Amino acid sequence: MTVEIGGARAYHDATKHSRESVYASRHALDWDQKPLPFKIYPDAPATALPRGVASPARPTLEVLTRLPPPSGGARVDLATLAGLLFYAAGLTKKKSYPGGEAVYFRAAASTGALYEIEVYAVTGPVPGLDPGVYHFSPGDFDLRRLRAGDSRQALAAAASDPSRVRTAPATLVLSALYWRNTWKYQARAFRHFFWDAGTMAANLLATATALEVRARALLGFVDREVNALLGLDPAREGALLLVPLGEGSPPPERVPPLEPLTARTIPLSRREVDYPLVRAAYAASALPDGAAARVWGTAVPSSGGEPDRLPPPPSPPLGEVIRRRGSTRQFAREPITEADLSTILETSVRDLPLDVAAHPRPLVEVYLLVHAVTGLTAGAYGYDPARRTLRLLRPGKFRREGGELCLGQPLAADASAVVFFLSDLAAVLGSLGDRGYRATNFAAGLLGGRLYLAAYARGLGASGLTFFDDDVVRFFLPDAAGLDAIFVTALGRAARPTGSGGFAPVAGEIRLLRPGQAG
């Protein structure tokens, strides 16, 4: 594969936050143009998903120490698909405001609670569902059919792992609807697309593991062909990730012709603002053909999937943790234990089921600010996931600095610990090309999503944060020389219990069942 460096590097540098760029910005939120929170296909035929969704009962921390089964596993039927969709992208809570306005929150965190990640399903014969291309509507909890017929062969030809996609009963495709995030975050939103897709994928892969469904995240695919299959306009929305689910489904005998899709959608707002940098970054990191996608997917086989020699400590069921999870709005400045932090890191920062080929260094490296962890000296640390050890880089009380690094946000000053994901982008882009930029941001989002799950499994809180790029790197010098800041997740004790202050579960609208109960 010919490696060209330029597009991703230029985009990253152009969208760095600095004190000058942030404080001089005149960008203001146009509330009259705030995008609709749902993509709506009003004319597409709907298939209602089962409302009795079985809640994944396996302990969360146990799930996080495993990968989805490499082969075999549970059958994917409509009920299983409904469970995977609900715990990855379903509505779990709503907050009511004076005047009757209600804001719905979803199973996975999203930057600014804007939820720009859309989910599509390309299915073969799934019990209870006709083969087709569908859009998942979380508001209605149904699937809207965009194409009839089995299109898995077309998707497989565009994917890095054709055989897996061809024989998977269903493949989920995650996309980003640009305007829903650029409305607030402007051109930097391209980074957010992959953070948010990664956070959603953390829920999806954990749920697949809990349900014993074979699954893998594929970042390698021909963007143009996947977008055409889904009927997406790449100037406004682009595919980010494929997740084939299950195996053993007979490949399609007949491949239907792929006519252009013209399915009508409800406009997100009266007008949209175009951000050329986002379109340019998407185009620069696109793969041109199936051969390039297959080269991308020449990955080193993962050794994951086996449980640790020492089992993780007891934890609540995964379904309960996902329904309870939220982005913490305020930390209590109380200490957590060293056992809390080590358990969260050891269960979260692990091998990931990605189709990323070998490269010189990890996609992301982990640094921390420890503010209040009993048993640990306050200071700056590096984390070695292979040895599962923290290395003290510089002792000190850095709450003020933590807040300053994260755009002055109190969350980073009040948290017990703040996890910084950094990357040697020069090495990644030199090895993987511009597509490696997508992989780096996605990997950071995926690990951040796993930190969320592990923190809530320990009765703690978590929140993803943005940051001043170069200031973060300078703070961790000399150890971080040559690296770039990618993503940040703060951990600690929430100042008030999740669900307080007007939040309510959506259990009355999506009925949740324990395994074994009749739907």
Average pLDDT over residues 78-94: 95
User: What is the model's pLDDT at position 202?
Assistant: 97
Could you tell me if 120 and 175 are in contact, meaning their C-beta atoms sit under 8 angstroms apart? yes
Question: Which spans in 269-382 are helix H?
Answer: 276-284, 290-296, 318-324, 338-348
User: What is the model's pLDDT at position 5?
Assistant: 44
Average pLDDT, the chain: 90
Tell me the pLDDT band of 6, cut-offs 50, 70 and 90.
Answer: low
Q: For 150-168, write each residue's pLDDT tens digit.
A: 999 999 999 999 999 999 9
User: What is the model's pLDDT at position 303?
Assistant: 39
DSSP secondary structure, 116-180, as one string? -EEEEEEESSBTTB-SEEEEEETTTTEEEEEEES--HHHHHHTBSSHHHHHH-SEEEEEEEEHHH
Q: Is the pLDDT of residue 479 over 90?
A: yes
Query: Who has greater pLDDT, 73 or 451?
Result: 451
Look at the alpha carbons of 443, 139, 517, 519 in this order and tell me if their dihedral is positive or negative: negative
User: What is the model's pLDDT at position 273?
Assistant: 96
Average pLDDT over residues 424-434: 93
Q: Is the pLDDT of residue 314 over 60?
A: yes
SS (H, E, C) 236-261: CEEEEEEEEECCCCCCCCCCCCCCCC
Q: Is the pLDDT of residue 512 over 80?
A: no
Distance separating the N- and C-terminal Cα atoms of the chain: 49
Q: Is the pLDDT of residue 480 over 80?
A: yes
Tell me the pLDDT band of 497, cut-offs 50, 70 and 90.
Answer: low
Tell me the pLDDT band of 219, cut-offs 50, 70 and 90.
Answer: very high
Average pLDDT over residues 481-488: 98
| 153 φ/ψ sector (left φ>0, alpha ψ -120 to 50, else beta) | alpha
Q: Is the pLDDT of residue 252 over 90?
A: no
pTM: 0.93
Name the CATH architecture for the domain at 318-492.
3-Layer(aba) Sandwich (3.40)
Domain boundaries, the chain: 44-303, 318-492
| 166 φ/ψ sector (left φ>0, alpha ψ -120 to 50, else beta) | alpha
User: What is the model's pLDDT at position 327?
Assistant: 82
DSSP character at residue 222 = B
Tell me the pLDDT band of 516, cut-offs 50, 70 and 90.
Answer: very low
User: What is the model's pLDDT at position 305?
Assistant: 45
Q: Which phi and psi angles does 30 have, rounded to 5°? A: -95, 95
Give the span between the Cα atoms of 85 and 371, in whole angstroms.
37
User: What is the model's pLDDT at position 507?
Assistant: 44
H-helix or E-strand spanning residue 390: strand 389-395
User: What is the model's pLDDT at position 306?
Assistant: 47
Q: Is the pLDDT of residue 341 over 80?
A: yes
Tell me the pLDDT band of 513, cut-offs 50, 70 and 90.
Answer: very low
User: What is the model's pLDDT at position 255?
Assistant: 74
Query: Who has greater pLDDT, 499 or 331?
Result: 331
Average pLDDT over residues 403-421: 97
Tell me the pLDDT band of 506, cut-offs 50, 70 and 90.
Answer: low
Q: Is the pLDDT of residue 100 over 80?
A: no
H-helix or E-strand spanning residue 272: none
Of 72-76, 376-380, 423-427, the least confident: 72-76
Please, what's the b/e burial string for 310-319 (b: 16 or more CB within 10 A of its CB; e: otherwise)?
eebeebbbbb
Helix (H/G/I), strand (E/B), else coil: 484? strand
Q: For 162-212, write each residue's pLDDT tens digit.
A: 999 999 999 999 999 999 999 999 999 999 999 999 999 999 999 999 999
Q: Which CATH class is domain 44-303?
A: alpha beta
User: What is the model's pLDDT at position 3?
Assistant: 42
User: What is the model's pLDDT at position 257?
Assistant: 77
User: What is the model's pLDDT at position 69?
Assistant: 86
Tell me the pLDDT band of 63, cut-offs 50, 70 and 90.
Answer: very high
